[in-house]
Amino acid sequence: MSKPYFEKLNQTLKNYQRAIPCLLIDLDKVDENIATLKKNLQANTSLRIVVKSLPSLELIQYVMQRGNTEKLMVFHQPFLTALAGNLTANADILLGKPMPIKTASYFYKNLPESKQGFHPYQQIQWLVDTEQRIEEYIDLAKELGQSLRLNLEIDVGLHRGGFKDIVQLKAGLQLLEQHKEWVTFSGLMGYDPHVVKLPNFIRSKEKAYQLANQFYEQCKEAIQQDFPSLWSEDLTFNGAGSPTIAMHKNNSPLNDVSAGSCMVMPTTFDIPTLDNYQAACFIASPVLKAFEGTTLPALEKMKTILNLISSSNQQSFYIYGGFWKADYCYPIGIKQNSMFVSTNQTMLNAPSSVELKVDDFVFLRPHQSEFVFLQFGNILPIRNGAIMTPWSVLKNY
Domains in the chain with CATH codes: 27-265 (3.20.20.10), 281-392 (2.40.37.20)
Helix (H, G, I), strand (E, B) or coil at 306: helix
pLDDT at 295: 64
- The residues near 376 (Cβ < 8 Å, ≥ 6 apart) are 21, 22, 23, 283, 393
pLDDT at 301: 54
- CA dihedral (89, 94, 95, 97) in degrees, to 10, reads 180
Tell which residue, 350, 198, 373, 339, has the closest CA to residue 287. 350
Q: CA 328 to CA 113: how far, in whole Å? A: 42
pLDDT at 293: 81
Q: CA 137 to CA 141: how far, in whole Å? A: 6
Tell which residue, 68, 83, 152, 63, has the closest CA to residue 123. 83
Q: CA 182 to CA 176: how far, in whole Å? A: 9
* Separation in Å, CA 75 to CA 34, 52, 94, 210, 333: 22, 7, 9, 27, 37
Contact 314, 337 (CB under 8 A): no
DSSP 338: T
- SS3 track for 50-92: EHHHCCCHHHHHHHHHHHCCCEEEECCHHHHHHHHCCCECCCE
pLDDT at 310: 65
| Residues paired with 361 in a beta bridge | 286
pLDDT at 35: 97
Q: Which parts of the chain are beta strand (E)? A: 22-26, 46-50, 71-74, 92-95, 124-128, 148-153, 183-190, 236-239, 256-259, 281-292, 315-319, 326-330, 335-336, 347-350, 361-366, 378-383, 386-387, 391-392
**In this structure, which amino acid lies at residue 45?**
T
pLDDT at 308: 58
Q: CA 264 to CA 369: how far, in whole Å? A: 8
User: What percent of the chain is helix, strand and coil (3-state, nearest 5)?
Assistant: 35, 25, 40
Helix (H, G, I), strand (E, B) or coil at 139: helix
* Residue 157 zone, left/alpha/beta (φ > 0; ψ -120 to 50; rest): left
pLDDT at 314: 87
pLDDT at 312: 79
DSSP 345: B
Contact 279, 265 (CB under 8 A): yes
Quick one: which H or E segment has residue 195? helix 194-197
The Cα angle at residue 273 between residues 269 and 279, in degrees rounded to 5:
40
> Tens digits of per-residue pLDDT, 300-323?
556 566 665 666 788 999 999 999
pLDDT at 296: 67
pLDDT at 174: 98
Tell which residue, 348, 279, 347, has the closest CA to residue 24. 279
User: Which parts of the chain sit beneath pLDDT 50?
Assistant: none
Contact 268, 8 (CB under 8 A): no
pLDDT at 379: 97
Q: CA 236 to CA 226: how far, in whole Å? A: 18
Tell which residue, 184, 191, 48, has the closest CA to residue 125. 184
